[in-house]
Amino acid sequence: MRCTLPPEDVTVLLDEAAPRLVSLEEKERLISQGVSYGELLSAEEVPSDLQRRTFAESLERCGPRVAALLADLAAELWQHYGERAVLVSLARGGTPVGCSLRRLARRWGTDWPHYTVSIIRGVGLDSAALSQIRQAHPGQPLVFVDGWTGKGSIFSTLSRSLPPGCPPTLAVLSDPAGVAAHAATFDDLLLPHAALNATVCGLLSRTFLPPDGGEGRHAVRIEEALRPFDQTGEYLAALDSLWEPFAQAPAAASRSASPRPVRPFGAVWELAQARGVTDPHRVKPSVGEATRVFLRRRPAGLWVRDRQDADVAHLLVMADEAGVDVTEVPQLPYRAAALIGAGEGE
């Protein structure tokens, strides 16, 4: 595969294939008619100036905290699983996190195997890839790695996808949904790679189902046109330099003592229902998920907790450019939440 993820950091269990490419408008129409999200793909565009600026500014502003969270999460996994952990990152949001965790563990004297696999809402985890991993590491604990949570849909999909004897052990840096077994923080944070897609994840597209409808692994397209803009290696190197102070030995986790959130999506769902929304899949809470809505879907609304929050500044610009209303809700459990536009059926 021609992706730019370092092979020493991750084994990519995805098959390169040609997807059903559709425009954003056609994708929304087909999804509203019941076509699976996992069967459709829109080609990624060159990252905008706003995306690149948001990525650079968030890396500079939040990078040291992200590095500390990576070290906290790695230390917790070390304490729970020692050298036996097998990292299984969920492409694409979890892939850079898994790569960094593996690099950090190497500095501590062990090398956790790391694979990246596909998970698709409404379809599930790639069972063929999972079988490969379990056969290669019989009896070892699998830790599923993602960057952040929104309302917990991916965790629910993961839980339903796994066979008996394979627990849905999810590890994330930011867990505002309160669903992960291992979370570096429950705060809703903008992780730098949420501002970009393929260009910080080895040029991998969003994953999709095999076009031939077979039982093989999930598929991916290499976004070859974006190769001149790829920053995958630079991003991982930047994270390396930031967690260097934690590279000597695993330390006790120093996360905030904030309590685990309990059903935070409820408050956002109430706001959506007040606007006449009947499909919870149209509501995407967390700053990371809201960012992805503006990058990949047709946004119809944005709620933010604080307009002055630097982590939502890019969303305010995106909303203005898209002509989307922004509502400030001080009691919002997340930094932000976005609403996807209604399809023909709603």
- Residue 257 forms part of a structural domain: no
Instruction: Give the residue among 154, 163, 155 at the shortest CA–CA distance from 134.
Output: 163
Q: Which residues face 336 on adjacent strands?
A: 304
Mean pLDDT of the chain: 91
> Do 28 and 79 lie in a common domain?
yes
Question: 84 with 49, same domain?
Answer: yes
150 contacts 139 by C-beta, under 8 angstroms: no
The gap between the terminal CA atoms of the chain, to the nearest Å, is 40
Assigned domain for 228 exists = yes
Indicate whether 236 and 93 sit together in one domain: yes
Structure tokens at 300: 């119809």
Q: In the prediction, which pLDDT does 55 show?
A: 95
302 has which bridge partners? 326, 338
Same structural domain, 167 and 242: yes
The angle subtended at Cα 175 by Cα 328 and Cα 82, nearest 5°, is 165
Identify whether 255 is part of a domain: no
Q: Do 65 and 128 have their domain in common? A: yes
Residues 74, 167, single domain; the answer is yes
Q: Is residue 251 part of a domain?
A: no
Q: Where in the sequence is the domain holding 70, given as residue range(s)? A: 11-246
Mean pLDDT of 85-107: 96
Q: Are residues 270 and 237 in the same domain?
A: no
Confidence category of residue 252, pLDDT binned at 50, 70, 90: low
Is residue 1 in a domain? Answer: no
Q: What share of residues in the chain are helix, strand, coil (percent, to 5)?
A: 40, 15, 40
Query: Which CATH number fits the domain that encloses residue 313?
Result: 3.30.1330.30
**Confidence at residue 332, expressed as pLDDT on a 0 to 100 scale:** 97
Pairing of strands 114-120, 219-220: unpaired
Q: Are 309 and 203 in the same domain? A: no
Q: How many C-beta atoms surround the C-beta of residue 167 within 10 A?
A: 14
Task: Look at the chain and report how many structural domains it folds into.
Answer: 2
| Among 193, 212, 246, residue at a domain's last position | 246
Same domain, 151 and 292: no
Checking if the pLDDT of 246 tops 90, the result is: no
For the cut 80, the answer to whether the pLDDT of residue 200 exceeds it is yes
Interacting residues of 56 by C-beta distance below 8 A, sequence separation 6+: none
Residues 60 and 153 in one domain: yes
- Asked if residue 259 is part of any domain, the answer here is no
Q: Is the pLDDT of residue 334 over 90?
A: yes
pTM (predicted TM-score): 0.93
> Residues 234, 291: one domain?
no
Three-state secondary-structure class, residue 267: helix
Residues 6 or more apart in contact with residue 276 via CB below 8 angstroms: none
What CATH number does residue 24 fall under?
3.40.50
More confident residue, 1 or 278: 278
Q: What are phi and psi of 159, to 5 degrees?
A: -60, -40
Inside any domain, residue 3: no
Shared domain check, 197 and 136: yes
Final residue before a domain boundary, out of 185, 215, 246: 246
CA distance 248 to 107: 7
